[in-house]
Amino acid sequence: IQYGSDGGKQMLKPKDAGKLQPANPGDRRKCADFDTFEESLRYYEKYYEWYGDVARLDRDGDGVPCSGLPHTTNMEKYRMKKPITKQQRPSE
């Protein structure tokens, strides 16, 4: 087990996670920086595992970042805006 570097909040990560921890991007992006919901979701999912909602894209805490953004028209990238419960999220 190794500890994530997230500005003071320690999160345990299994060594065999298979993913390299990305650098903490900080609170640099906001919903207005994304054109579609799917773009914001990819960003949210990339960093959530390590740092939580670092950019505060999920203001109401339902697991759906930037829910007011439109969906992509590219059906290969389409993702449902499906809220998740706290039990489904990685431990915080």
User: What distance, in Å, lies between the first and last C-alpha atoms of the chain?
Assistant: 15
- pLDDT category at 1 given cuts 50, 70, 90 is very low
Give CA–CA dist 91/62, Å, rounded. 15
Residue-averaged pLDDT of the chain = 80
Question: How many other CB atoms sit within 10 Å of the CB of residue 12?
Answer: 9
Please tell me whether the overall predicted TM-score, pTM, comes out greater than 0.85 for this model: no
| Range with lowest mean pLDDT among 18-27, 32-41, 43-52, 55-64 | 18-27
Span 64-81, pLDDT tens digits: 999 999 999 988 888 888
**Cα torsion 32, 47, 52, 39: sign:** positive
